[in-house]
Amino acid sequence: MTHSHPLSNGIIRNDRTMSDGRTIRYYDTQGQTRTAADQRPQEDQPGIGELRLDSLVNEWVAIAPHRQGRVFLPPKELCPLCPTVGDLLTEIPDSTYEVVVFDNRAPSLRAPGDGWELPDRLGPQTPNAPAAGKCEVVCFTSEHGNSFADLSEHQVRTVLEAWRDRTRELSQLDFIEQIFPFENRGEEVGVTLSHPHGQIYAYSFLPSRVERMLSAAQKYREDTGRVLFDDLVAREIKDEVRIIARNEHWIAFTPYAARYPFEIHVTPLVPVADMTELSPAACDAFASVALEVLKRLDAVFGIPMAYIAAWHQAPVRQGRDLLRLHWQITCIRRAPGKLKYLAGSESAMGAFIMDMKPEQSAQQLRDVVLGS
Ligand SMILES: [Zn+2]
């Protein structure tokens, strides 16, 4: 059975069920039909992990021991994210694809049973709870050797539509509070598969950074009546020195108090809570600024930059008028051959020490001469 969903920009999503019951979604722009069946033997899905409260800081930790056995940097010919060719059966049953999203085979978070509720936080008395949520894998392209920065603008638009579609659909699940699409690139940041892909974590609780951003934004609203993030962007536009790229709809800058040697925030000029609220024009204009930023990052030292690219969106059910969509790229490389490690102050105290001014890294990124 294939289910088709028309999305914007002529993109069609076709859903298929995999042999272990997971769903794979093909996002296509050429009117393809998707009928290839998953021919792998049926396999039991792993169980659900648990959420435990770290009551010292009142933060939830997901304990997912079943993830230990997952595939770690397999050779290219055994890549599970390439399309299926002949009898090399992968996660994608079809022999071609543009963009696919499927449920993670070893998810840290998964759909809970009926009646699931997040416990109240009561210090060490807090019970644990099944690790509710969803974890999905997003394959950006069928080309194994490429990276996000090598995608065409057309391909980036399709990836964005897939992220938007997942945000929209996952927001409808009653156990979901926060939807987080992200990409880790490079072995330095723990990538276990070299095929260009990202992930989506949909959490059943507010992650601690979101909780802190929300309380900062609430306080700012009470004090000033204004939206904190909008005022931060206004300052970046006024200061100009940290801006790296912009077009009619998006702006990219190194934030005023960057924590990493090369940290970039990319945000739409018309603020929105999440991707589903982007205008068609803003959707179309994302690719050019995204690709420019990533090309500048790769060119700054002439080597592919390892990064974490993280989508911040307003939570599903609260703070929708206080938190804004933005794409945060953090890179741990300071110089060729030098990585910034999260050492004592950052890891233990959460106090970041930066040995480089954000204005300097913005300048370095702007000075890159991009080929055509
Ligand atoms: Zn691959």
Give per-residue pLDDT as tens, 294-305: 999 999 988 888
Mark whether 248 and 180 lie in a shared domain.
Answer: no
User: Given a cut of 80, is residue 138 above it in pLDDT?
Assistant: yes
In angstroms, what is the span from residue 80 Cα to ligand 1's centroid?
6
Mark whether 94 and 231 lie in a shared domain.
Answer: no
3-state DSSP assignment of residue 202 = strand
Answer whether residue 59 is part of any domain: yes
In angstroms, what is the span from residue 260 Cα to ligand 1's centroid?
30
Report the phi/psi class of residue 10: left, alpha or beta, with left for phi > 0 and alpha for psi in -120 to 50.
left
Mark whether 264 and 116 lie in a shared domain.
Answer: no
User: Model confidence over 71-90: pLDDT tens digits?
Assistant: 666 777 789 999 999 888 99
Indicate the residue among 158, 179, 205 that finishes a domain. 205
pLDDT of residue 87: 86
Indicate the residue among 205, 225, 247 that finishes a domain. 205
Mark whether 187 and 228 lie in a shared domain.
Answer: no
Mark whether 249 and 168 lie in a shared domain.
Answer: no
State which residues form the domain around 198. 3-205
User: Model confidence over 269-318: pLDDT tens digits?
Assistant: 999 999 999 999 999 999 999 999 999 999 998 888 889 999 999 999 99
Q: Among 49, 52, 9, which residue's Cα sits nearest to residue 29?
A: 9
Report the phi/psi class of residue 57: left, alpha or beta, with left for phi > 0 and alpha for psi in -120 to 50.
alpha
Mark whether 21 and 98 lie in a shared domain.
Answer: yes
pLDDT of residue 67: 61
Angle at 149 between CA 145 and CA 151, to 5 degrees: 75
User: Model confidence over 154-212: pLDDT tens digits?
Assistant: 999 999 999 999 999 999 999 999 999 999 988 776 676 789 999 999 999 999 999 99
pLDDT of residue 189: 67
Mark whether 36 and 105 lie in a shared domain.
Answer: yes
Answer whether residue 363 is part of any domain: yes
Q: Using CA atoms, how far apart are residues 159 and 26, in angstroms rounded to an integer?
A: 11
- Which whole number is the average pLDDT over 217-236? 98
User: Model confidence over 29-66: pLDDT tens digits?
Assistant: 999 999 999 999 887 777 889 999 999 999 999 998 87
In angstroms, what is the span from residue 78 Cα to ligand 1's centroid?
8
In angstroms, what is the span from residue 161 Cα to ligand 1's centroid?
22
In angstroms, what is the span from residue 187 Cα to ligand 1's centroid?
15
Q: For residue 24, what is the enclosing H or E element?
A: strand 23-28
Answer whether residue 372 is part of any domain: no
In angstroms, what is the span from residue 69 Cα to ligand 1's centroid?
19
pLDDT of residue 301: 87
38, 93 Cβ separation under 8 angstroms? yes
Answer whether residue 85 is part of any domain: yes
User: Given a cut of 70, is residue 70 above it in pLDDT?
Assistant: no
Catalytic (active site) residue 197: yes
Answer whether residue 30 is part of any domain: yes
In angstroms, what is the span from residue 142 Cα to ligand 1's centroid?
7
Mark whether 145 and 251 lie in a shared domain.
Answer: no
Mark whether 128 and 261 lie in a shared domain.
Answer: no
Beta carbons within 8 Å of 98's beta carbon, 6+ residues apart? 26, 27, 28, 29, 30, 32, 141, 142, 155, 158
For ligand 1, an ion, list residues with CB under 5 A. Answer: 79, 81-82, 144, 195
Answer whether residue 280 is part of any domain: yes
pLDDT of residue 137: 97
For the record, the structure tokens of 126 come out as: 């807090």
Q: Among 112, 77, 95, 79, which residue's Cα sits nearest to residue 38?
A: 95
User: Given a cut of 60, is residue 372 above it in pLDDT?
Assistant: no
Mark whether 219 and 348 lie in a shared domain.
Answer: yes
Average pLDDT across the chain, whole number: 93
Answer whether residue 241 is part of any domain: yes
User: Given a cut of 80, is residue 116 above it in pLDDT?
Assistant: yes
Give buried/exposed letters for 98-120 (b at 16+ CB in 10 A, else e): bbbbbbbbebbbbbbeeeeeeee
Neighbours of 320 (CB within 10 A): 14
How many domains does the chain fold into? 2
pLDDT of residue 370: 87
Q: What is the pTM of this model?
A: 0.95
Q: Tokens 């999503």 identify what position?
A: 13
Among residues 3, 66, 197, 326, which one is catalytic? 197
Looking at residue 316, which CATH number applies to its domain? Answer: 3.30.428.10
Q: For residue 344, what is the enclosing H or E element?
A: helix 344-344
User: Model confidence over 14-37: pLDDT tens digits?
Assistant: 999 999 999 999 999 999 999 999
pLDDT of residue 42: 83
Q: Which of 74-83, 137-146, 319-328 has the highest mean pLDDT?
A: 319-328
In this prediction, residue 332 has a pLDDT band, given cuts at 50, 70 and 90, of confident
Mark whether 82 and 225 lie in a shared domain.
Answer: no
Indicate the residue among 205, 235, 266 that finishes a domain. 205
Q: Using CA atoms, how far apart are residues 34 and 12, in angstroms rounded to an integer?
A: 11
In angstroms, what is the span from residue 91 Cα to ligand 1's centroid?
10
| pLDDT above 70 as % of the chain | 97
pLDDT of residue 336: 79
In angstroms, what is the span from residue 125 Cα to ligand 1's centroid?
46
pLDDT of residue 212: 97
pLDDT of residue 339: 76
Answer whether residue 67 is part of any domain: yes
pLDDT of residue 98: 98
Mark whether 327 and 227 lie in a shared domain.
Answer: yes
